[in-house]
Chains A and B, each alone.
Chain A
Amino acid sequence: MIEIALKALFILIYATFVGFMFMGIIRIVTARIHRRVGPPIYQPILDTIKLLSKKSNITHGLIYDFGVIYALGATILAIMFIPLGNIGVLRAYGDLVLITFLLEIPMLGIMFAAMSSGNPYAGIGAQRALLTLLAIQVPLGFAIVALAEYYGTFSTYEIVMAQQSMGWSITALPLLFAAIAYDLVLQAMFGKEPFDIMIAPGEISLGPMVEFGGKHMGILQIQHAIALFGETLFFSNIFLGGAAITIFGSSILNTIATLVVLLIKQTAVLLVATFMGAIFPRFTIDQAARFYWKWPTIIAALGAILASL
Chain B
Amino acid sequence: MNELAIIIFAPLLAGALAWLIEVKGIRELIGVTGAALPLGFSLLLYQKTTEGINLALNIGVFNLTFALNHLNWFFIGIGTLVGFASILALVSTAKDSYEWLFALMSLTGVLGVFLANDMMTFFIFWEIMTFASFMMVLRYNRSASLKYFLLSVFGAYAMLIALGIIYAKLGTFDFGTIQQAMYQEAYASAFGAETLLSKNESALIYLLFLIAFGVKAGMFPLHVWAPDAYGETNQSYTAMFSGVLSKAGVYGFILLYVLMGTRLALEFGAFRSTTKFGYIIAFLGGLTIIVGGLLAALQEDIRKLFAYSSISQLGYILVGIGVGTALSIQAAMFHALSHALFKGLFFLIVATIVYRTGKTTFADMGGLAEKMPFTFAMAFIAILSLAGIPPLVGFASKWVLFEAVISQNLPILGGMVFFGSAIGFVYLIRFVYAVWFGQRPTDLDETKDAPLPMAIAMVILALFNVILGIAPGLVAKELNKIFGKEVIGGDLFILDLGFGKYNALAVTIYLVVGIIIAGIIYFLGAKVRKVPVTDTYQSANPVTMEYNLTIRRNFFLPLKETLAFWLRISFDRLYRTIGTWVEDLAEVMRTYIYNGNTQSYAWYLAILLLILALWGV
Contacts and interface: CB of A to CB of B under 8 A. Distances in A.
Given A130-B425, A130-B426, A152 B526 contact: no
Interface in A189-231: 205, 210-211, 214-215, 218-219, 222
B426 A138 contact: no
Given A126-B433, A130-B429, A218 B525 contact: yes
B529 interface: yes
A57 interface: yes
Most chain B beta carbons < 10 A, residue from A121, A130, A218, A219: A130
Interface in B380-439: 384, 387-390, 395, 399, 402-403, 406-407, 409-412, 414-415, 417-419, 421-423, 425-426, 429-430, 432-433, 436-439
B168 interface: no
Interface string B439-451: 1000000000000
A65 B537 contact: no
B518 A72 contact: yes
Given A56-B526, A68-B522, A137 B421 contact: yes
Contacts of A12: 517
Contact of B399 (A90, A97, A211): A97
Contacts of B526: 53-57, 214-215
Nearest to B433: A115
Contact of B419 (A97, A137, A205): A137
Contacts of B272: 308
Contacts of A124: 551
B522 A77 contact: no
Contact of A119 (B389, B522, B549): B549
Contact of A98 (B369, B399, B524): B399
Contacts of A146: 411
Contacts of B512: 73
A58 B529 contact: yes
Contacts of A145: 406, 411, 414-415, 418
B388 A101 contact: yes
Contacts of A286: 558, 561-562
Nearest to A94: B501
Given A93-B502, A101-B388, A131-B426, A58 B406 contact: no
A97 B403 contact: yes
A56 B531 CA distance: 12
A75 B570 CA distance: 41
B539 interface: yes
A58 B395 contact: no
Contacts of A307: 411
B608 interface: no
B503 interface: yes
Interface stretch (A29-37, A105-113, A236-244, A264-272): A105-113
A63 B402 CA distance: 31
B490 to A, nearest CB: 11
A289 B558 contact: yes
A44 to B, nearest CB: 16
A98 to B, nearest CB: 6
Contacts of B530: 58-61
Contacts of B402: 97
Interface in A67-107: 68-77, 80, 90, 92-93, 95-98, 101-102, 104-105
Given A93-B506, A101-B395, A112 B500 contact: no
B518 A137 contact: no
Nearest to A63: B369
A59 B439 contact: no
Given A12-B517, A72-B521, A123 B551 contact: yes
B562 A289 contact: yes
Nearest to A12: B517
A140 interface: yes
A154 interface: yes
B556 A52 contact: no
Contacts of A144: 406, 414, 418
B531 A95 contact: no
Nearest to A302: B411
Given A123-B550, A138-B415, A148-B407, A77 B510 contact: yes
Contacts of A120: 538, 549-551
A25 to B, nearest CB: 24
A301 B551 contact: no
Contact of B501 (A92, A104, A148, A289): A92
Nearest to A100: B418
A38 interface: no
B437 A63 contact: yes
Interface string B457-498: 000000000000000000000000000000000000010010
Given A63-B369, A131-B559, A138-B418, A54 B433 contact: no
Contact of A154 (B389, B432, B500, B539): B500
B174 to A, nearest CB: 41
A61 B409 CA distance: 47
A188 interface: no
Given A101-B390, A148-B406, A127 B551 contact: yes
B433 A95 contact: no
A164 interface: no
B293 to A, nearest CB: 9
23 contacts: A57-B525, A57-B526, A58-B528, A59-B530, A63-B437, A65-B528, A69-B522, A95-B403, A98-B507, A111-B432, A115-B432, A118-B437, A118-B549, A119-B536, A119-B537, A120-B538, A120-B550, A130-B430, A140-B418, A148-B406, A149-B406, A284-B558, A304-B411
Q: Give the 4 A-B CB pairs with smallest separation, nearest first.
A: A141-B418, A154-B500, A215-B525, A76-B514
Given A119-B536, A142-B414, 5 more contacts: A53-B526, A61-B369, A69-B515, A76-B518, A134-B419
Interface of B: 272, 367, 369-370, 384, 387-390, 395, 399, 402-403, 406-407, 409-412, 414-415, 417-419, 421-423, 425-426, 429-430, 432-433, 436-439, 494, 497, 499-503, 506-507, 510-519, 521-522, 524-531, 533, 535-539, 549-551, 555-556, 558-559, 561-562
Interface of A: 8, 12, 52-61, 63, 65, 68-77, 80, 90, 92-93, 95-98, 101-102, 104-105, 108, 111-112, 115-121, 123-124, 126-128, 130-131, 133-134, 137-138, 140-142, 144-146, 148-149, 152-155, 205, 210-211, 214-215, 218-219, 222, 284-286, 289-290, 301, 304-305, 307-308
